[in-house]
Amino acid sequence: MITVYGIPNCDTVKKARTWLADRGLEVVFHDFKKQGVPAELLPAWLQTFGRDKLINRTGTTWRKLDDAAKAAVIDDASAISLMRMLPSVIKRPVVRWPDGRWTLGFSAHEFEKSA
């Protein structure tokens, strides 16, 4: 089973979900806005991707933060706190593949290798 974590109106999430649907792959979608961020998975995501990749520092949510809030993200604990408070700051989608691997963002090439 493939699990896609993200926000439904995110363009990148839409592209990923369309790519998967076009190939007839069975997918479970975890909506950060409705279901929240799965706090128990954040440590694994941080270990897999690192803070600098998992937090989308080019996105609108990050850019709207004041300088003090940005400067406060200094370790994994502060990153987890921010991601739980503002799920839109997480780069999307986060995908769990049937073999247990994780990918971040959408790349047709990476999805092809994983699917």
Question: What residues are labeled active site?
Answer: 10
Amino acid at site 83: M
Phi first, then psi, for residue 29 (nearest 5°) are -105, 125
Length of the chain: 115
Helix-, strand-, coil-residue percentages of the chain, each rounded to 5: 55, 15, 30
Which residue in 39, 36, 41, 76 sits closest to 55, CA to CA? 76
Give, as one character, the DSSP assignment of residue 51. H
Amino acid at site 26: E
